[in-house]
């Protein structure tokens, strides 16, 4: 999924010099990709949404909006991996199951 990449800022420190307002243009793209992907999931199938960012707008907000608009999906699992806690780059994943 295209994202702001803020979870990998230690690997790409130049990200911190970007204008954060540029990142909002990613939201419609993320929504469109997720909405397109749903049509390929069979009943009982799984859809994994993942980004390498820590922004709530690109993570939980996208997933919550998707679930509100698609009641045939449910959230099975989600987690935000934090570098200082999980010892990895920062990223988010949400596993969605189609009813």
Compute φ and ψ for 83, nearest 5 degrees: -55, -45
Query: Among this protein's residues, is 93 annotated catalytic?
Result: no
Say if strands 46-51 and 73-81 run parallel, antiparallel, or are unpaired. Answer: unpaired
Question: Strand, coil or helix: what is 5?
Answer: coil
Tell me the CA distances in angstroms from 86 to 5, 26, 32, 81, 91, one per residue in order.
17, 26, 30, 6, 10
Q: Is 78 exposed, middle or buried (0-12, 13-18, 19+ CB in 10 A)?
A: middle
Choosing from 1, 3, 8, 52, the catalytic residue is: 52
Catalytic residues: 52
């Amino acid at each position: 999924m295209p994202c702001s990449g803020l979870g990998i800022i230690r690997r790409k420190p130049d990200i911190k010099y970007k204008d954060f307002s540029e990142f909002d243009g990613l939201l419609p793209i993320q929504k469109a990709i997720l909405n397109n992907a749903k049509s390929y999931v069979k009943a009982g199938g799984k859809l994994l949404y993942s980004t390498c960012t820590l922004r709530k707008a690109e993570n939980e907000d996208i997933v919550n909006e998707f679930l509100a608009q698609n009641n045939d999906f449910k959230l099975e699992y989600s987690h935000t991996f934090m570098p200082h806690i999980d010892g990895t780059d920062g990223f988010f994943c949400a596993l969605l199951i189609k009813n």
